[in-house]
A and B are shown apart, each in its own frame.
Chain A
């Protein structure tokens, strides 16, 4: 599904290149649950941003579902956002002026999905996440864990093929974090959604089936997780 070849990212500052990523080459298959780990400043988030096409690599090749991303036009990239990629953020990033239901509805609007189907999809998602009672609340009336649930619901409602999550549990306490990770695992196993998460926590990484470890912009390790559970 994703092919990275020799991805490099650096910032040139007064003639000195400071590298964020160096020679990153890897591939991610449909249905994988990959955790990216590594110390602060290693380049995890940058890699995720490049995978999510929010940043461009300085050079290297990136194929998403067989298409060359670096050669894509803005419009084509936006089409990918609409149809294939869902984002989940550490700080949730819900729109404060919208209710829970409206937040979940937003991506469907850009996909131009008709009203009746939007309603049924939202109802479906709310139901699955046990949030029907909260659908008219605003984000600041929810706890962190609940906000992140809405964030995931919003990512899911457009039925993406891959979810990119940047430290999705970083702001949450451990019980809530577990709940979110269980959800990811379930989505991965039952619906076959590819999941890519950046995390600091060894424990969270165990939920997935593959761990990429990055240090100083270079992939240090690429191991499969043994299924213990």
Chain B
């Protein structure tokens, strides 16, 4: 019996091969999208999952009134270990993000991130160098491991895993050290590093004022985390009270500790934003929706085919078939199609994967034995078979033989609402995607065309290790000689150094003026900072070396800062911070140093700041047509220009750095572009096949109408009318939804376009046009047919 049913199924599918291939093809495309999304979601949610103690690892964070952070003081780790039995192990880590130069003879390596970890932390975080984790001896020894790739750069011919001597910094620095071996660079972890340095104990000399470390805990299984969180908070407040005699009690009361599980760190850290998590959820919903749309095609077409299959059902029933047997038969038919679709989907996914990996900057592969896909796929197959097939199978197997065998049976009335409803649903989703796509486009266009208030395209950011603070802080030198030497190079127009570059984050400190005390952003700069970045002046003046006081207590603020302190005439007023009474000499126009998502923060620019950060970020403005030669000259003369930094000249273009702020939005745009195209494509595929069935069912009606004198146009109108109405309804349904969603998205930008109307009208136009074209193509056949053929008695 199974064999016979299989034969019927195959013959049936072959007879309707056009529609079958549309059905299977559409489903395959949707499945491919779904598979990719699922692989991505699995990847993103399983960071550090290989860690055997995954569920018991927490990171200690501190909540201050204004912000949360994972940086705490090193002594606190010891305090936790001593006080709480439920803590199995406590570790300390510290990420250094400044660039380190490591040399082996002529071979040079620039490391980005070196993770310093104590032995306990290395154990907790499952840091496994090649040859296993070794405990360092004594208090001083640091075992440093570099990633395989870095080792390859330094020691291309090295085969063994023996320690090697290397030089640190410039070749004239004379500092040497040992690399203990190599370590696999695990990108699928929250703790990514180019190298790791392991010591027995870290932060020994630190006190509670130095929040330089991150504490990670491994708890015993079954620990009451909320309770422990409270106890740790109490402990932290007590320790702070002990260490800081001068601190006011109420200030300490506002500080609390929290525990963030390892599983939260990647997507939704408590101290940080959960945008990646939201994006992941949005992506997953997207993937599911696309799959649902494709399944709807299946359901719709299967029901549309019902009239044809009804007779078969009726006959089989009077021959003695149970309903269950028929239901199974139809489900098996749909299962077969889904199976083919899933094979095609895998092929498709494999083809798309490289661009997908590129877009999301991940390394996903399908053909990995550990891939969960291999047990997920059969499950998906089962689920889509049921979603797509259960309703048609039940409808078909439920036919009453007495009705279907009478001859003039039609299902059109019974499932009319359902089929149209499903079609409307498909189009509604497509419309939402189209509107979102256009809205994202217009916001991105706005961001690209809007004046950000400063110019980055001629500015080169030079990475540098020399400190240029004045008055001198430990080992810093004067920037003036460096600037003078650089300006001698033809093409270089201006040069400056600052603590932060636009596009990164600024420091925050408390300043008071005009009777107001507030935490505002600060940037410590050198002369020519504003000129180099082409920032516009509103009133007053920029810093200038003709004024002796500028290097002592002059300040420039932006418009927002002036407004924050309620200053009507800011020039000449005093603003106090870092123990200095600054005199405001200029007000600059606001510029979007943090991109479009965050509103311009009140910011103060000063040259002298005893409590500020190190000025290391050199920015140089170069004439555009002499860019290449100027860079070449800088490279060759760098050792003379900036001797403390060494012979290695490293630079980046500031516009590229600033452009990284847009990266996420561009990602989103690509995703929505793909999603909009996919949904509309699948919906149109469904419509195409559906219109074919509808017109086939109405061939007799069309023939009669033609004989009664209807012309072609009238018949086209007749057939298009229902579809036209459905698409219109779909638009009306999705407009409010799309409005709410896009508005929500736009609200994540401090600077955004007004809610545009164009996407709404465009989406309506596009969907209606596509519908009319699709339906008309189908209707043409019916219209062109000779009425005599249609009316001939079978």
Contact = CB atoms under 8 A, between A and B. Distances in A.
B4 A102 contact: yes
A110 B321 CA distance: 6
Interface string A122-160: 000000000000000000000000000000001000100
A74 B317 CA distance: 11
Interface string B293-325: 000000000000000000110111111111101
Interface stretch (B5-13, B171-179, B221-229, B674-682): B5-13
A106 B407 contact: no
A54 interface: yes
A223 B38 CA distance: 75
Nearest to B10: A97
B474 interface: no
Contact of A105 (B4, B321, B325): B4
A109 interface: yes
Contacts of B316: 95, 106, 110
B405 A78 contact: no
B320 A78 contact: yes
B15 interface: yes
Interface stretch (A13-21, A85-93, A211-219): A85-93
Most buried by A among B1, B314, B325, B402: B402
B8 A97 contact: yes
B320 A97 contact: no
Interface in B390-415: 400-402, 405-407
Contacts of B311: 93, 95-96
A90 B311 CA distance: 13
Contact of A93 (B8, B314, B323): B314
A82 B405 contact: no
A189 to B, nearest CB: 25
Given A55-B402, A91-B407, A93-B405, A98 B4 contact: yes
Contacts of A91: 405, 407
B321 A87 contact: no
A208 interface: no
Interface residues of A, number: 32
A82 B320 contact: yes
Contacts, number: 71
Contacts of B401: 54
A111 B4 contact: no
A98 B407 contact: no
Contact of B400 (A54, A79, A96, A105): A54
Contacts of A54: 318, 400-402, 405
Contacts of A83: 320
A75 B322 contact: yes
Most buried by B among A45, A85, A96, A109: A109
A110 B320 contact: yes
Interface string A55-97: 1000000000000000000110011011101010111011111
Contact of B15 (A97, A111, A154): A97
Nearest to B11: A97
A109 B4 contact: yes
Interface in B351-377: none
A119 B732 CA distance: 61
B7 A93 contact: no
Interface in B729-760: none
Contacts of A49: 402
Contacts of A95: 8, 311-312, 315-316
B318 A52 contact: yes
A168 interface: no
B318 A87 contact: yes
A94 B311 CA distance: 8
B14 to A, nearest CB: 9
Given A54-B401, A54-B402, A55-B402, A106 B319 contact: yes
Contacts of A96: 311
B313 to A, nearest CB: 10
Nearest to B314: A93
A172 to B, nearest CB: 13
Given A93-B314, A105-B4, A111 B320 contact: yes
Contacts of B321: 78, 110
Interface in B573-616: none
Contacts of B315: 93-95, 106
A79 B320 contact: yes
Contacts of A97: 7-8, 11-12, 15, 312
Contacts of A87: 318-319
A107 B407 contact: no
Given A93-B405, A95-B311, A97-B8, A110 B319 contact: yes
Contacts of B314: 93
A45 B406 CA distance: 9
A82 B319 CA distance: 6
B777 to A, nearest CB: 27
A95 B310 CA distance: 10
Contacts of B322: 75, 78
Nearest to A90: B407
A119 to B, nearest CB: 13
A81 B401 CA distance: 12
A82 B317 CA distance: 10
B122 to A, nearest CB: 68
B408 to A, nearest CB: 10
A91 B8 CA distance: 20
Contacts of A154: 319
Nearest to A154: B319
Nearest to A103: B315
A106 B4 contact: yes
Interface in A18-41: none
A78 B397 CA distance: 14
A36 to B, nearest CB: 16
Given A95-B312, A97-B12, A107 B320 contact: yes
A90 B405 CA distance: 9
A121 B4 CA distance: 17
Interface in B229-258: none
A111 B322 CA distance: 11
Nearest to B402: A54
A21 B8 CA distance: 39
A153 to B, nearest CB: 13
Nearest to B794: A91
Contacts of A82: 319-320
A49 B406 CA distance: 10
A16 B402 CA distance: 23
Contacts of B8: 95, 97-98
B400 A81 contact: no
Contacts of B407: 90-91
Nearest to B400: A54
Interface string A148-191: 00000010001000000000000000000000000000000000
Contacts of A93: 311, 314-315, 405
Given A78-B322, A97-B11, A98-B8, A89 B405 contact: yes
Interface in B266-317: 311-312, 314-317
Given A55-B402, A97-B12, A102 B7 contact: yes
B11 A81 contact: no
Contacts of B323: 74
Nearest to A111: B320
Given A89-B405, A97-B11, A81 B319 contact: yes
Contacts of A106: 4, 315-316, 319
13 contacts: A54-B401, A54-B402, A78-B317, A78-B321, A87-B319, A97-B8, A98-B4, A98-B7, A98-B8, A102-B7, A107-B320, A110-B321, A158-B319
Question: Sorted from nearest, which 5 A-B pairs have the closest CB atoms?
Answer: A82-B320, A54-B402, A81-B320, A107-B319, A110-B320
Interface of A: 45, 49, 52, 54-55, 74-75, 78-79, 81-83, 85, 87, 89-91, 93-98, 102, 105-107, 109-111, 154, 158
Given A54-B400, A79-B320, 9 more contacts: A78-B317, A93-B315, A95-B316, A97-B11, A102-B7, A107-B320, A110-B1, A110-B319, A110-B321
